């Protein structure tokens, strides 16, 4: 059974950092593109970053460039999203997703088949 589980969310002060993890089970993460999305209440899910399965080419939405870093550790079957300089408006639920064949940009959520349940990030003082 394909499963993705996010962890690492929580409360952080504005300007702080968090690292989200996405643990995969039931499949080998190295064979999939990995994406991170986020969704605020009442808004559409937004693609944040993704990393390709072949050469680790990465994509970032403009809003997070220079602050977020996506990575993967295939040996641990885990992907990560390092988030620095977090802003209060980034208080949303973050989801990881996996897909074997997908364009890494633009990130269209309906093209991704496998999803985690999400991790809440709360940026507040």
pLDDT values of the chain reduced to their tens digit, one per residue, 125 residues: 889 999 999 999 999 999 999 999 999 999 999 999 999 999 999 999 999 998 889 999 999 999 999 999 999 999 999 999 999 999 999 999 999 999 888 899 999 999 999 999 999 99
Of 17, 31, 41, nearest to 114 (Cα)? 31
Hey, what are 37's tokens? 């999305």
Scanning the structure block, which residue is given the tokens 């074997």? 100
Burial of 39 (0-12, 13-18, 19+ CB in 10 A): middle
- Catalogue the E-assigned strands of the chain: 3-7, 10-12, 18-25, 33-39, 46-51, 58-60, 68-73, 78-83, 92-99, 114-115, 119-123
In this prediction, residue 111 carries a pLDDT of 93
């Amino acid at each position: 059974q394909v499963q993705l589980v996010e962890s690492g969310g929580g409360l952080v002060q504005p300007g702080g950092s968090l690292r989200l993890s996405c643990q995969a089970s039931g499949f080998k993460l190295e064979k999939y593109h990995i994406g991170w999305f986020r969704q605020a209440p009442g808004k559409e899910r937004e693609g944040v970053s993704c990393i390709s399965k072949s050469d680790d080419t990465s994509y970032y939405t403009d809003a997070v460039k220079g602050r977020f870093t996506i990575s993967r550790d295939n040996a641990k079957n885990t992907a990560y999203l390092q988030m620095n300089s977090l802003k209060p408006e980034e208080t949303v639920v973050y989801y990881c997703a996996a897909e074997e064949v997908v364009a890494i940009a633009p990130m269209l959520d309906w093209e991704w088949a496998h999803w985690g349940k999400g991790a809440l990030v709360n940026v507040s003082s």
